[in-house]
């Protein structure tokens, strides 16, 4: 039976395009070989006691090991818990305990943190760089390759058709938010949620004219960590498309560029920070004189106009995705009718306005409740309805009630709404500034300031104000290279010019510009505004 | 809640692209207006007693009425039974009774046959060309527009959120085969089957390079009747894509061309017979001097190389779909890697080899059981596994067991299998000729003969033979235009040349060529080979 389970995707790829490559560091495989290994891995897991409903943590970079584990767990109906190694250790351990992980598959690069989890789980299976079985495991521990060897023997003794007792509304995986306030919150996804949310990203990118267009014959390298919703679904839609898969493991920007050139990568996904680093490295290497023909899906935080312009000059096209682990994918920027647009208009739309995915409906609401007009100006909060929305946070009824109601997910994100139902997502509500009862979107000011020479990073945050309630202040990290730095006066002039050009409202100009050596970051690579406020000794409510 | 029910597609279109047009004859509407009407229609239906599980027959051409009914029935959880008006009357009435239709919505153009059903059902609702309410219904009968007016009032008195008690594994529709032997067989589809089978056709066409490529901004006219699996899913994937929808109603080839020009239709679907008629009309009108830039999805019977060549000359591109009501969509011709192909090779692949849809697996089996090699030569029977396969024929356990087993559907179609897992479907097994234990694919011989001037239609059928078991004979309908007719000797010479060119095996040359004035057709527009055999007084087993 074909039920729409996650591992059916890999089975199909092995069948339809057995020889298409799967590459991960020095490891070179094919979909057919991966399917064989996954089948043996499932057998091995079964032998050590993993079964339907068992929660299994995965602590690894984007590697062939992680890729394989996802499908083997699906075959057993076990629950996949990708561990976010960028979380603070206490939070990470909290998620292991809260999800009820019984086994952990840990890459040796994360041995230190994995050892702290050993007492919380039944067993840790070690994933070593050395794939030989000869390596004697320390303290009698089991390695990944040994488990596959055990599974290979087991499969010969007793062939099993896996997945018989698994249905598409069984839980496939559990993820935790990387929230900056309170404990991480867990979301559980059924096979059908993860399957359709992942595939609709690919479908949207194939149907529409986008900056991250997907075509037959692409070679794809997902740079979004698998612990972020399986790499924003790329773990699944890449084999589904039958595309050549390149896994970056620990590659830094320089190594990523080498892989892109060597494997002819045409498509990738990454957050703006990664995109920035990749571009920076490219500019260093080529002196901005060559094009890098790459299509990129990006999102998670707004793109500055400065970065957008540099990407255009480097020949990198991109689309923006809006979503998150508590809603999965919601919208992606796309051009529906390109006929009447200039190139510049086209690029602006792709960099700012995201169009809901098929089967997704959004609403942008006033604080009082009703929808804001679709005028591209009025700011409201984004509410989302989709077939793959979780039904709440795992074991957390209070926070679930506050966020999920009547089939809607309340995102806490601010956006303006356009006539074509696309969204320009501006800010997290908690990061936005409310001045005299009016929202000020900090991302718009940040994007403007990023256009100035020497500005490496910029965060606009709320400052308590007696008269206005809150006022924005800008915190800026400047380049250390003396010749590339503009003056503070230049920054102010740039803001005033933006008001004259109609790009900024007068009252959106920050009250103050503060310079800092290094802005604090979250585990997801975004600027940690709450920590920044503390550092600046701003009392928040 | 978003559950993946069929009517959510129309709700989404009304929300995402409210002003995109829906056109049907002189009726001009939009997705937003259609959604309003459908909501009122569901209210009206509820008032006359249609509820969850009620089976409702629809007897209509591809019109806005049929389009609306599909979504209104989904909202109520009622079961949609599209009636195949091309079936013999006795068979059609049999399907009404077998499915348990309680209501029938009948277009007045089919009044005569609808009257014969009146005693079998609780109520017939009449669908008139005249949309005014002023028309007094004869004998106190209810009209479609009156029902919508009733629903409009009901909605004002009592707004209802429809679909609350409907789940995606509830039955959405029931269809009957147009089989040439025995009674029609019923297949029931759940919402999830119909949704995913329909949308995967669109996704396949968007992801790959195909002759029926789908892009944002298309205008689509489905010519496949809705009683054939909702127009091969076009009823659903067209609003899903947000494309302008043009419904042909009763338009003949000449009127279809006028609509294509007037509404700027870019995409259509039709069987080869319809495609032949459209092309013929176009050639008549333009003297083969102009291009008709249309992308067409076609299938149901093989395309002759003669037609393929003429389509190319007219600028019409196409892809082939393989499937049927007892398996839904299985595969569509597509180019995965166009780099190494000439234009001619590309066209040949698109005209012959279909690639399985995402999530579909096929097998091509020997009569003895195992798979045939993927060598593009060996002939076997196509077996299909997909997430949307029906679990059997409705109330027909014997025929279900013979066709559906262990998650597989046994198609009864003969094909060769290529290395890239694409299929060249050659023949219905029952139509193929078995000569000396070897299959002869009649469609290949038919296609060859169709290349000769003056050949309008050709059928190759099995003739009992003492020595070989069966031998092929060719039955040909020639054009009446004297100057366009080739001689019988020319036909034989053409076949011998094909053997020399390696296009035909020697033993595939038919034993005899018979000329007929008119070949008998099935209700689906295919040549009725069983009837042809009878006419020629060939005894079949």
Q: How far apart are CA B349 and CA B351, in angstroms?
A: 5
Distance from CA of A462 to the nearest CA of B (A): 35
Task: Give residue B530's pLDDT.
Answer: 82
- What pLDDT is recorded for position B541? 42
Identify the pLDDT of residue A538: 53
Please answer yes or no on whether B203 and A206 come within 8 Å at the CB atom.
yes
B175: which strand partners?
B187
CA-based nearest residue to A227, from A99, A85, A16, A82: A82
Q: What are phi and psi of B383, to 5 degrees?
A: -115, 140
How high is the pLDDT of residue B539? 42
- Please provide residue B175's backbone torsions phi and psi, each rounded to the nearest 5 degrees: -130, 160
Q: What is the pLDDT of residue B131?
A: 85
Structural tokens at position A508: 């959106």
Neighbouring CB atoms inside 10 A of A132's CB total: 8
Per-residue pLDDT, averaged over B272-289, amounts to: 91
Task: Please tell me the predicted confidence (pLDDT) of residue B540.
Answer: 43
pLDDT at A294 (0 to 100): 97
A5 backbone dihedrals φ, ψ, rounded to 5°: -95, 155
Q: Which two structure tokens, joined as six digits, stand for A264?
A: 């002819």
Angle at B65 between CA B61 and CA B69, to 5 degrees: 110
Task: Give the residue, B206 or A137, on which the prediction is more confident.
Answer: B206
Partner residue opposite A2 with nearest CB, options B8, B335, B359: B359
Which of B245, B220, B187 has its CA nearest to residue B295? B220
Q: From chain B, pick out residues whose CB is under 8 angstroms from the CB of A359.
A: 2, 4, 8, 12
How far is the alpha carbon of B251 from chain A, nearest alpha carbon, in Å?
Answer: 29
Q: Name the phi and psi angles at B174, rounded to 5.
A: -130, 135
d(CA A54, CA A125): 15
Q: What pLDDT does residue A139 have?
A: 58
pLDDT, position B484: 67
**Å between A240 CA and nearest CA of chain B:** 7
Mean pLDDT for the stretch of residues B190-209: 96
**Angstrom distances, CA of residue A372 to CA of A425, A430, A490:** 14, 19, 36
Per-residue pLDDT band at B135 (split at 50, 70, 90): low
Cβ contacts (< 8 Å) between A209 and chain B: which residues? 215-216
Measured between CA atoms, the residue of chain A closest to residue B418 is: A16
Helix (H, G, I), strand (E, B) or coil at A205: helix
Q: At A356, list the tokens.
A: 């809901």
pLDDT attached to residue A540: 43
B356-380 residue pLDDT tens: 999 999 999 998 889 999 999 999 9
Q: Which of B31, B213, B217 to mutate to test the interface with A (most CBs of A within 10 A)?
A: B217
B71-120 per-position pLDDT tens digit: 999 999 999 999 999 888 888 999 999 999 999 999 999 999 999 999 99
pLDDT band at A528 (very low <50, low <70, confident <90, very high): confident
- Site from A5, A196, A201, A207 to mutate, B interface, most B CB atoms within 10 angstroms: A207
Chain position carrying tokens 């001009």: B28
Whether the Cβ atoms of residue B220 and residue B56 lie closer than 8 Å to each other: no
pLDDT of residue B180: 59
pLDDT in tens, B250-280: 999 999 999 999 999 999 999 988 998 999 9
pTM of the model: 0.90
User: Shortest Cα distance from A249 to chain B (angstroms)?
Assistant: 28
Query: What is the rounded distance in angstroms from the CA atom of residue B142 to the CA atom of residue B44?
Result: 11
pLDDT at B110: 95
The minimum CA-CA distance between B412 and chain A, rounded to whole Å, is 19
Distances (CA, A) of B330 to A143, A240, B4, B32: 42, 16, 21, 32
Side-chain half-sphere of A407: how many Cα atoms within 13 Å? 12
pLDDT digits (tens, 9 = 90+) for A87-135: 888 889 999 999 999 999 999 999 999 999 999 999 999 999 888 876 6
Element containing residue A150 per DSSP (H, E): helix A144-157
- Strands (DSSP E) contained in B201-313 are 219-222, 244-247, 267-270, 295-299
Nearest to B357 by CA among B398, B328, B396: B328
- Chain A positions touching chain B (beta carbons under 8 Å): 1-4, 8, 11-12, 15-17, 196, 199, 202-203, 206-209, 214-217, 240-242, 334-337, 339, 356, 358-361, 385-387, 389, 407, 420-421
Q: Read off the pLDDT of residues B374-411 as tens digits, 9 standing for 90 and up.
A: 999 999 999 999 999 998 999 999 999 999 988 999 99
Which one of B206, B209, B423 would you mutate to disrupt binding with A, by most A Cβ within 10 Å of its Cβ? B206
Q: What is the mean pLDDT of residues B511-525?
A: 86
Higher confidence at residue A450 or residue B36? B36
Burial tier of A15 (Cβ tally within 10 Å: 0-12, 13-18, 19+): middle
Please name every residue paired with B187 in a beta bridge, in sequence order, or none if there are none: B175
Distance CA B212, CA A448 (A): 44
pLDDT of residue A539: 42
What confidence score (pLDDT) does residue B158 get? 94
Measured between CA atoms, how close is A389 to chain B, in angstroms?
A: 9
pLDDT above 90 (res A469): no
Partners of B166 on chain A (C-beta within 8 Å) are none
Q: Residue B469 pLDDT > 90, yes or no?
A: no
Beta-bridge partner residues of B471: B463
- HEC string of A434-500 equals EECCEEECHHHHHHHHHCCCCEEEEEEEEEEECCCEEEEEEEEEECCCHHHCCCHHHHHHHHHHHHH
The helix (H) or strand (E) run that includes residue A94 is: helix A89-99
CA within 13 Å, CB half, A368:
4
Average pLDDT for B452-464: 89
Q: What is the predicted pLDDT for the residue at B495?
A: 94
**Cα angle, residue A315 at apex, residues A310 and A320 outer, rounded to 5°:** 70
- List residues in chain B touching A: CB distance below 8 A: 1-4, 8, 11-12, 15-17, 196, 199, 202-203, 206-209, 214-217, 240-242, 334-337, 339, 356, 358-361, 385-387, 389, 407, 420-421
Average pLDDT, chain B: 91
CB B273 within 8 A of CB B299: no
Give the residue-averaged pLDDT of A343-361: 92
Percent of chain B with pLDDT over 70: 96
Q: What percent of chain A has pLDDT over 70?
A: 96
Closest Cα in chain A, distance from residue B431 (Å): 29
Residue A65 near residue A127 (C-beta atoms within 8 A): yes
**B118, B102 contact by CB (below 8 A):** no
Flag if B2 and A389 touch (Cβ within 8 Å): yes
Picking from B201, B216, B374, B407 by the largest number of A CB atoms within 10 A of its own CB, the best residue to mutate is B216
Please state, in angstroms and rounded to a whole number, the distance separating the CA atoms of residues B333 and B65.
32
Taking an 8 Å cut-off on Cβ atoms, the answer to whether A15 and B361 are in contact is yes
Q: In the 8-state DSSP scheme, what is residue B371?
A: B
Q: What is the pLDDT of residues B42-75, one digit of tens each?
A: 999 999 999 999 999 999 999 999 999 999 999 9
pLDDT over 50 (residue A428):
yes
Contact of A509 with A496, CB cutoff 8 Å = yes
| First-to-last C-alpha distance (Å) of chain B | 55
Query: So what's the pLDDT on residue A136?
Result: 61
Domains of chain A: 6-187 (3.40.50.12780), 191-235+253-428 (3.40.50.12780), 433-535 (3.30.300.30)
| CB-based contact A466:A439 (threshold 8 Å) | no
What pLDDT is attached to residue A464?
A: 87
Residue A1, pLDDT above cutoff 70: no
Residue of B nearest to A406 (CA): B1
Residue B360: partners with Cβ closer than 8 Å, 6 or more residues away: A2, B200, B329, B330, B331, B384, B385, B386
Give me the pLDDT at residue B503, please: 84
Determine whether the interchain pair A387/B421 forms a contact, defined as Cβ–Cβ distance below 8 Å: no
**Whether residue A263 has pLDDT greater than 80:** yes
Please measure the distance between the N-terminal and C-terminal CA atoms of chain A and give it in whole angstroms: 55
In three-state secondary structure terms, B444 is helix
Strands B267-270 and B295-299: parallel
Write down the pLDDT at residue B139. 59
pLDDT greater than 70 at residue B1: no
Tally Cβ neighbours within 10 Å of residue A229. Answer: 24
Using an 8 Å CB-CB cutoff, list chain B residues near A8: 359
Residue B485: count other Cβ atoms within 10 Å of its Cβ: 15
Q: What pLDDT does residue B390 have?
A: 92
With tokens 């609702």, the residue in question is B125
Q: With 90 as the cut, is the pLDDT of residue B487 above it?
A: no
Task: Return the top range by mean pLDDT from A123-132, A246-255, A431-440.
Answer: A246-255
The band of A534, judged by pLDDT with boundaries at 50, 70 and 90, is confident
CA distance B507 to chain A (A): 33
HSE on the CB side for A373, CA within 13 Å?
4
- Length, in residues, of chain B: 541
Q: Which residue's structure tokens are 């606009």? A: A460
């Amino acid at each position: 039976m074909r039920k729409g389970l996650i591992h059916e995707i890999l089975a199909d790829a092995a069948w339809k395009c057995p020889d298409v490559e799967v590459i991960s560091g020095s490891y070179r495989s094919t979909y057919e070989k991966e399917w064989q290994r996954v089948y043996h891995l499932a057998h091995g897991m079964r032998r050590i006691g993993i079964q339907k409903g068992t929660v299994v943590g995965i602590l690894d970079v984007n590697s062939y090991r992680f890729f394989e584990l996802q499908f083997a767990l699906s075959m057993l109906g076990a629950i996949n818990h990708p561990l976010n190694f960028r979380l603070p250790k206490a939070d990470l351990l909290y998620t292991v305990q809260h999800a009820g992980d019984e086994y952990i598959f840990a890459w040796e690069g994360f041995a230190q943190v994995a050892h702290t989890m050993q007492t919380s789980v039944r067993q840790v299976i070690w994933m070593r760089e050395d794939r030989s079985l000869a390596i004697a495991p320390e303290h009698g521990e089991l390695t990944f390759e040994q488990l596959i060897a055990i599974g290979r023997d087991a499969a010969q003794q007793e062939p099993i058709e896996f997945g018989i007792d698994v249905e598409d509304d069984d839980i496939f995986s559990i993820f935790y938010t990387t929230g900056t306030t309170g404990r991480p919150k867990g979301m559980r996804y059924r096979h059908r949620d993860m399957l359709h949310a992942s595939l609709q990203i690919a479908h949207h990118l194939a149907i529409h004219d986008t900056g991250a267009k997907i075509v037959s014959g692409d070679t794809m390298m997902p740079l979004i960590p698998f612990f972020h919703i399986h790499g924003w679904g790329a773990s699944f839609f890449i084999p589904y498309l039958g595309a050549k898969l390149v896994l970056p493991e620990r590659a830094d920007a320089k190594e990523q560029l080498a892989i892109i050139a060597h494997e002819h990568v045409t498509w990738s996904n990454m957050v703006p920070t990664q995109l920035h680093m990749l571009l920076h490295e490219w500019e260093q290497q080529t002196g901005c004189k060559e094009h890098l023909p790459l299509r990129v899906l990006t999102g998670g935080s707004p793109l500055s106009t400065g970065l957008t312009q540099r990407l255009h000059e480097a020949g990198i096209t991109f689309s923006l995705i809006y979503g998150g682990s508590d809603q999965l994918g919601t919208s992606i920027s796309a051009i529906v009718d390109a006929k009447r647009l200039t190139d510049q208009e086209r690029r602006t739309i792709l960099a700012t306005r995201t169009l809901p995915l098929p089967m997704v409906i959004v609403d942008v609401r006033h604080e009082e409740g009703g929808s804001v007009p679709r005028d591209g100006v009025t700011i409201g909060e984004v509410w989302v309805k989709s077939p793959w929305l979780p039904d709440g946070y795992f074991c957390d009824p209070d926070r679930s009630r506050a966020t999920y109601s009547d089939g809607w997910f309340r995102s806490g994100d601010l956006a303006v709404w356009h006539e074509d139902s696309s969204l320009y997502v501006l800010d997290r509500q908690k990061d936005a500034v409310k001045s005299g009862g009016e929202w000020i979107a900090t991302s718009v000011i940040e994007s403007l300031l990023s256009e100035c020479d020497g500005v490496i990073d910029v965060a606009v945050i709320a400052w308590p104000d007696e008269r206005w309630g809150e006022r924005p202040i800008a915190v800026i990290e400047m380049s250390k290279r003396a010749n590339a730095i503009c003056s503070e006066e230049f920054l102010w002039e740039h803001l005033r010019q933006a008001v004259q050009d109609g790009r900024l409202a007068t009252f959106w100009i920050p009250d103050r510009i503060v310079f800092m050596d290094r802005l604090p970051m979250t585990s997801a690579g975004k600027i940690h505004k709450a920590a920044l406020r503390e550092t600046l000794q701003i009392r928040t409510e």
